[in-house]
Amino acid sequence: MPTTRAPRVPAEERLFSLVLALLSTESGLTKSEILANVQGYRQRYAAGGDNASLERQFERDKDDVRELGIPLETIETPGAAGNNQTLRYRIPKGEYDLPLDVRFTPDESALLSLAAMAWREGALSADSRRGLLKVRSAGSDDDGSEHDAGDGTSAIGAYAPRLRTRDAAFEPLRSALDRAAAVRFAYITPGHHEARVRQLAPLALVQHGGRWMLAAHEFATDSEKNYLLARIVGPVTQYEVGQHPAPADAGERALAGLDRVWAERTATVHVVPGSDAERRLTRRRDTTSTTEGELVIHHVDPQLLAEELAAFGPEVRVVEPEDLRQRVVDRLRVLVEDHTGTPDRDTVDQATGNDGATHG
């Protein structure tokens, strides 16, 4: 008999279900309990079987939850210190609740949900997604009677638009993978203003650090590379359909490679104590502190990290490497120029701690 394929659960639904489950427990849930019961995992969970791939998915989801600023805690079982299988996970509700003076009426909650359903996945910023999760996990006083459409969904939700705002290249690339086709598209490399056409054999679409990437074999260099979907500009064209089937383990190999790069690339930054930057960056996976109180953070893409750090403004100063520090300074100068019409070196220097000397 043919096996029934588990229905695909969108990543944002899986993360939301995970957050709700961890909020609802005081004592925490073990990894096995999460995989066996939480929406998005349980559909693929094999009781007593091999769940290695699903466990790796959970590890990546934990990182994504923490990168959203959600305080996910681990609790060791007494007498089983160091045993990862008995670790329990939870989100302390008191640290994740909305402020006491913030309350939403049923109609306001419905409108927020409606907006979130329209602007799905990549269109929401990390701050928006974090706020939305707080609102949704808080729930409302609505008992459903006023908006019930009769089928378990709200009348408003029944008319909610679905704007496919995930990276535009995602669907044509997934189609190319299904059809074992080669693709060509224009791609902007960091530091360059002009796009260059790439011709590739797609291997896997993977999500790492909350961003979608394409692992592919590039014909021009006869090598495997990763491409950030957000840097693909223009349409994705398929050709040589059926001639480029991807290996079954391509996704796992791509993620393992990205994890190796993540482990090797670090940056040291000084953060303002008690700032949002300190809270957010401290919660990044594998972040450590130096004896001087500076943070050592890991990353895959220096340009993406520079954009993230620049968003914190004067709360962060890059100590090393110098290349990353210069990227942040350049990013801030562009922002100042965009808002003022002229580059303001003094404003940027003040924000970056640049006093004319080289830091690090």
Q: What is the DSSP letter of 50?
A: -
Residue 333, phi then psi, degrees to nearest 5: -65, -40
Nearest to 33 by CA among 16, 53, 19, 47: 47
- Over the range 196-209, which residues count as b (16 or more CB within 10 Å of their CB) and which as e? eebebbbbbbbbbb
Where in the chain are the domains? 11-96, 106-158, 170-261, 265-352
Reported as a pLDDT band with limits 50, 70 and 90, residue 262 is: very high
CB-based contact 227:173 (threshold 8 Å): no
Can you give the pLDDT at residue 149? Answer: 37
Write out the CATH class of domain 11-96: mainly alpha
CA distance 247 to 229: 21
Reported as a pLDDT band with limits 50, 70 and 90, residue 192 is: confident
- Over the range 318-340, which residues count as b (16 or more CB within 10 Å of their CB) and which as e? bbbeeebbebbbebbbebbeeee
Can you give the pLDDT at residue 178? Answer: 87
pLDDT over threshold 80, residue 118: no
Q: Which helix (H) or strand (E) holds 268?
A: strand 266-271
Can you give the pLDDT at residue 261? Answer: 92
Can you give the pLDDT at residue 12? Answer: 73
pLDDT tens track for 173-190: 988 998 999 999 999 987
pLDDT over threshold 50, residue 1: no
Collapsing DSSP states into helix, strand and coil, what is residue 133? helix
Per the DSSP assignment, residues forming a β-bridge with 211 are 208
Taking residues 339-346, report their average pLDDT.
60
Can you give the pLDDT at residue 358? Answer: 32
Least confident range from 136-140, 190-194, 237-241, 333-337: namely 136-140
Can you give the pLDDT at residue 226? Answer: 92
Count of CB atoms situated within 10 Å of the CB of 287: 16
Q: Where are the alpha helices (DSSP H) in the chain?
A: 11-23, 31-37, 52-67, 93-96, 106-118, 126-138, 155-158, 170-178, 250-264, 276-282, 302-310, 322-340, 345-352
Taking residues 334-340, report their average pLDDT.
75
Helices (H) and strands (E) counted in the chain, each on its own, are: 13, 12
pTM score, whole prediction: 0.53
Least confident range from 24-28, 95-99, 212-216, 249-253: namely 95-99
Across all residues in the chain, what is the average pLDDT? 76
Least confident range from 4-13, 175-184, 238-247: namely 4-13
Burial class (CB in 10 A: 0-12, 13-18, 19+), 53: exposed
Count of CB atoms situated within 10 Å of the CB of 303: 16
CA distance 208 to 192: 23
The fold of the 170-261 domain, in CATH, is SH3 type barrels. (2.30.30)
Q: What percent of the chain has a predicted confidence (pLDDT) above 70?
A: 68
Can you give the pLDDT at residue 319? Answer: 92
pLDDT over threshold 70, residue 160: no
Collapsing DSSP states into helix, strand and coil, what is residue 279? helix
pLDDT over threshold 60, residue 314: yes
Q: What is the DSSP letter of 255?
A: H
Q: Is the peptide bond before 321 cis (omega within 30 degrees of 0)?
A: yes
